[in-house]
Structure 1
Amino acid sequence: MQRFVKIFGQQTCKVIGMIHVDALPGTPRYTGNWKQTIEKAIYEANLYKKHQLDAVLIENMHDIPYIPERLLGPEIVACMTRLGQAVREVIPKETPCGVQVLACGNKQALAIAKASQLQFIRSEGFVFGHVADEGYTDACAGDLLRYRKLIDAEDVLIFTDLKKKHSSHAITADVSLLETAHAAEFFLTDGIIITGTATGHAASPEDLQQLSGRVKVPLLIGSGVTKENIASYYKQAQAVIIGSHFKRNGSWLEEISEQAVEDFMRQIRELRQGFE
């Protein structure tokens, strides 16, 4: 928890805004709009800055269909590093910025964070193997933390998904959510992310309650948070990651809606005043 507090501060329930960058060069949906991709990321970063979000997370969400980590090309790392630098230049230095590379590009994310001076990454497949829609994902904690040491990036926090969304967990069905959380904690995660079963699907408040007070690392909600349900997470979660809810019609495929961001942050301010 100390590593989290050092970067994010003490206040309960930090709001991390997602920047879903456009499809990158070399991926099926790329349309030759690289300059526009950078400008759009900068626009969204400025919008989050304007509405005083607590942190920002960039992700290559539009690079569908995703491929396993071993197939990710150097162009993805290069482009995400450029985007990370662009966002970092906009966001105040005291505001944490992070990166996620799909699918399971955790080493790549660490390298990007190191080069772009970002403060955290979101990692999939940290503990236990599972079958995702892009194929089999093996546990990576031991290799990933050794790589973090190797590149002198130990100041970069690693937040880890439990029972990754868009995945089958039949082979670990006998391992409970709490046991998975304890395994991630034992393997030195800097924070545990709880999600629903798919992008935009709400995480179960019962899952949060099951873990709250039973692990010593921060708990983050990683999908499905809205202004209508934030109150059910607010008191027990150290942070929420918002992507789909900030988009038009609540769809990650749509453009960002400033009104949605403004409405959500107003709700957060009211909750913070109520809990002071």
Structure 2
Amino acid sequence: MMNLNKSIIGMVHVQALPGTPKNKYSLAKICELAVKEARQYETAGLDAVMIENMHDVPYLKGSVGPEITAAMAVVAKAVRDAVKLPLGIQILAGANKEALAVAKVANFQFIRAEGFVFGHLADEGYIDSCAGELMRYRKAIGAENVFVFTDIKKKHSSHAITADVDIAETAEAAEFFLSDGVIITGSSTGKTVYLHELKSLKDKIHIPILIGSGITAENLSEYWDYASAFIVGSHFKEDGYWENEISDERLKMFMQIVKKLRN
């Protein structure tokens, strides 16, 4: 069971999988690297880990080939066997049913889902809402114990077609459609969340709020009171760049600040 109480969730950016343009490693090596990062997070005292196929650019839209789902299941099982932390998964772009299937078979605790309510124009194309289909699929495969955390007004996207629906209304819709928690992001990977948008959700919803981009050691205290969990990836990497290796020094400094805030 996963308890979101100021939780720090570390991102494992899985290396490019077989069949994708940037692939250069065998699946065994990809698993080895993912396990190494997950163990670094566990050793540093993080609360959970999430894996994501971020190196698989350019992303497919809304679904992926069976080879990607199969590969992510193998990586997920390797990570599950290596660490005891709660685990999550996202499969880009918007392959939410695939992520849920992998989470179910690999004993993961949550997924990150795109396009849950309303539609938006992503760099992969138009991503339609999926709540009805996804939550029925969760029921059908017996995965009700897998939390579905859902992006709203997601990064790397245009929301012009829903400009008359603010972020609070979007969050309320996600809660109504049975989201287990909403994820708020900045405009792109590593970009900070707009604090006024985050504050606007106060007392509007009764499900957890997760911050999904832009959290650093320098700004964590500013956002601390307004979220239940913080998904951190880029900041933990050397020079703060998502493609680089994890920096143990950055991890240590960040978790020292977390301890102070918790006390």
TM-score bracket for the superposition, by shorter chain length = over 0.9
Match of 1:66 among 45, 59, 69: 59
Match of 2:115 among 121, 125, 131: 125
The residue that corresponds to 1:195 in the other structure is 185
The residue that corresponds to 2:135 in the other structure is 145
Once the two structures are TM-superposed, the CA of residue 254 in structure 1 deviates from its matched residue by 1.1
Once the two structures are TM-superposed, the CA of residue 213 in structure 1 deviates from its matched residue by 2.3
State whether residues 130 and 169 of structure 1, in contact with CA within 8 Å, keep that contact through their aligned partners in structure 2.
yes
Match of 1:7 among 2, 5, 10: 2
SS in 2 for 1:267: helix
Give every structure 1 segment of 4 or more consecutive aligned residues whose post-TM-superposition deviation is greater than 3 Å.
Answer: none
Measure the CA separation in 1 of the matches of 2:81 and 2:202: 35
State whether residues 212 and 219 of structure 1, in contact with CA within 8 Å, keep that contact through their aligned partners in structure 2.
no
The residue that corresponds to 1:3 in the other structure is none
Once the two structures are TM-superposed, the CA of residue 256 in structure 1 deviates from its matched residue by 1.2
Measure the CA separation in 2 of the matches of 1:204 and 1:272: 23
- What percent identity do the matched residue pairs reach? 53
The residue that corresponds to 1:20 in the other structure is 13
Once the two structures are TM-superposed, the CA of residue 69 in structure 1 deviates from its matched residue by 2.0
Match of 1:104 among 94, 103, 107: 94
The residue that corresponds to 1:79 in the other structure is 71
SS in 2 for 1:31: coil
Q: Is residue 168 from structure 1 mapped to residue 158 from structure 2 by the alignment? A: yes
The residue that corresponds to 1:44 in the other structure is 37
The residue that corresponds to 2:208 in the other structure is 218
Structure 1 spans left out of the alignment, 5+ residues: 1-5
Once the two structures are TM-superposed, the CA of residue 164 in structure 1 deviates from its matched residue by 1.2
In the TM superposition, 1:254-273 aligns within 5 A as 254-273=244-263
The residue that corresponds to 2:50 in the other structure is 57
Q: TM-score, normalised by structure 1?
A: 0.93
Opposite residue 179 of structure 2, the aligned amino acid is T
Once the two structures are TM-superposed, the CA of residue 34 in structure 1 deviates from its matched residue by 2.2
Q: TM-score, normalised by structure 2?
A: 0.98
Match of 1:236 among 223, 226, 230: 226
Once the two structures are TM-superposed, the CA of residue 253 in structure 1 deviates from its matched residue by 1.4
The residue that corresponds to 2:169 in the other structure is 179
Q: Which moved more, 1:55-64 or 1:257-266?
A: 257-266
Measure the CA separation in 1 of the matches of 2:160 and 2:246: 35
Once the two structures are TM-superposed, the CA of residue 31 in structure 1 deviates from its matched residue by 1.0
Structure 2 spans left out of the alignment, 5+ residues: none
SS in 2 for 1:263: helix
Aligned residues: 263
SS in 1 for 2:15: coil
The residue that corresponds to 2:242 in the other structure is 252
